[in-house]
Amino acid sequence: MITVSRAINTPQQVSPATLEKVNAAIAALGYVPNLMAGALRLSRSHLVTVLVPSVAGSLFAGMLTALTESLDARGYQLMVGQSGYDVPREDALLRAIIGRRPDGIVLTGVMHSPQGRRLLQASGIPVVETWDTTATPIDMLLSVSHEQIGAAVSRYLFEAGKTRLAVLSGDDERAHLRAASYVRAALAMGLPEPVALYLPAPTTHAQGREGLRALRRSGKDIDGVFCTSDLMAAGVLTEAMVQGVDVPGQLAVVGFGDMDIAASMSPSITSVHVDGAAIGAKAAEMIAARAGGQRPAASIVEIGFRIVARESA
């Protein structure tokens, strides 16, 4: 039994011949070690959980890939949960996750319920919040300011000569922050108040098409639109082509996320890039440090963003 345990947990301590024999027996029996028992004995699960609002599209793909690879290199496995844009669902998931005592939890956003915050703070599990910013993080934070993003896009379109603006936004909290800041920045520059349409999250290509139709029906002479997702921006481009609207001459379009579709559309989509891969790699580093009894060099790290200029604006 001791030899088998060593072969499973510390294979470098047994001879190649013995390891081969044990692995052959494991394969023949279909044996899977009881990780729960091992975790109880060692007080370590070697499991990290990440919650994302949606796995549809690829906005979080870069983060998930980097998180998986970076954790794997450190001996951890990643479990992904989809919370939707629903606070009660996130709370239920948090209860289930905390009950399994992972070595770390990575969250998308900072807007949790009071109950959710209490659960996380009381658990003692290392937590990294991502894709948002706050002055009161639960534990560690990879900061992205959606208010700065909205204002930057507004200024970008103004500097491109666009003065009659609109925003097509998802109805989730982070998209709301981008849209509201976009509107405030336009007003601060002396522009007419941008038309704002809010659509159910997660937003889609079809919503972008319908959004442009709604803007056109409103009678407003719009010459620049910010879409809070690249899928919506792609839908706007599709509908613009159907209606014979010249992009970017008559209408400049900016998306968010810098997804693969942004570069491959024709015209290609100007988009806001947030480095999801950097978020994933840094989150893994912070979780591993805390799980190993250390503090990361900084508990709050600014990730930032940049606008990638392409043909649509």
281 pLDDT band, cuts 50/70/90, is: very high
Residue 165 placed within a domain = yes
What end-to-end distance do the CA atoms of the chain give, in Å? 66
295 pLDDT band, cuts 50/70/90, is: confident
Question: What is the 8-class DSSP label of residue 223?
Answer: -
pLDDT at 35: 53
3-class SS of residue 294? coil
Angstrom distance (rounded) from CA 52 to CA 283? 14
Average pLDDT over residues 223-235: 97
Q: How many domains does the chain contain in total?
A: 3
Distances (CA, A) of 30 to 27, 75, 82, 229, 308: 5, 22, 30, 45, 50
Residue at token pair 């294979």: 11
pLDDT at 33: 65
Please tell me whether residues 137 and 202 are part of one structural domain. no
Please tell me whether residues 244 and 199 are part of one structural domain. yes
pLDDT at 100: 86
Specify the long-range contacts of residues 52-55, CB closer than 8 Å, at least 24 apart. 52/80, 52/81, 52/82, 52/83, 52/108, 53/82, 53/83, 53/84, 53/85, 53/108, 53/109, 53/172, 53/201, 53/202, 54/82, 54/84, 54/85, 54/201, 54/202, 55/80, 55/82
Average pLDDT over residues 205-216: 97
pLDDT at 36: 53
Number of Cβ within a 10 Å radius of residue 214? 15
* Residues 113-149: tens digit of each pLDDT: 999 999 999 999 999 999 999 999 999 999 999 999 9
Residue at token pair 């949960």: 81
Please tell me whether residues 87 and 197 are part of one structural domain. no
Q: In 3-state terms, the chain is what percent helix, strand and coil (to 5)?
A: 45, 20, 35
313 pLDDT band, cuts 50/70/90, is: very high
Residue 312 placed within a domain = no
Please tell me whether residues 182 and 269 are part of one structural domain. yes
Q: What is the pTM of this model?
A: 0.83
Residue 179 placed within a domain = yes
Q: Where are the beta strands (DSSP E) in 171-208?
A: 195-199
Residue 309 placed within a domain = no
Please tell me whether residues 237 and 280 are part of one structural domain. no
Judged by average pLDDT, the poorest of 107-111, 266-270, 295-299, 306-310 is 295-299
Q: What is the CATH number of the domain that holds 191?
A: 3.40.50.2300
Please tell me whether residues 195 and 266 are part of one structural domain. yes
Closest CA to 269 of 240, 234, 241, 245: 234
Residue 49 placed within a domain = yes
Question: What is the 8-class DSSP label of residue 104?
Answer: E
Closest CA to 154 of 105, 103, 188, 119: 188
pLDDT at 38: 54
Please tell me whether residues 256 and 292 are part of one structural domain. no
pLDDT at 152: 98
Residue 39 placed within a domain = no
Please tell me whether residues 116 and 181 are part of one structural domain. no
Please tell me whether residues 140 and 280 are part of one structural domain. yes
- For 268-292, b/e burial (b = at least 16 CB within 10 A) is bbbbbebbbbbbbbbbbbbbbbbbe
Residue 207 placed within a domain = yes
- In this predicted structure, the answer to whether residue 164 has a pLDDT above a threshold of 60 is yes
Residue 246 placed within a domain = yes
Per cent of the chain over pLDDT 90 is 76
Please tell me whether residues 57 and 136 are part of one structural domain. yes
Sheet containing 127-132, strands listed edge to edge, beginning at the edge strand earlier in sequence: 77-82, 47-52, 104-108, 127-132, 140-143, 300-302
* Residues 54-90: tens digit of each pLDDT: 887 678 999 999 999 999 999 999 999 998 888 888 9
* Residues 9-62: tens digit of each pLDDT: 888 889 999 999 999 998 887 776 655 555 545 556 789 999 999 887 678 999
Please tell me whether residues 184 and 280 are part of one structural domain. no
- In this predicted structure, the answer to whether residue 271 has a pLDDT above a threshold of 60 is yes
At residue 205, what is the residue type? H
Please tell me whether residues 165 and 268 are part of one structural domain. yes
The boundaries of the domain holding residue 73 are 44-144+276-303
- For 117-127, b/e burial (b = at least 16 CB within 10 A) is eebbeebebbb
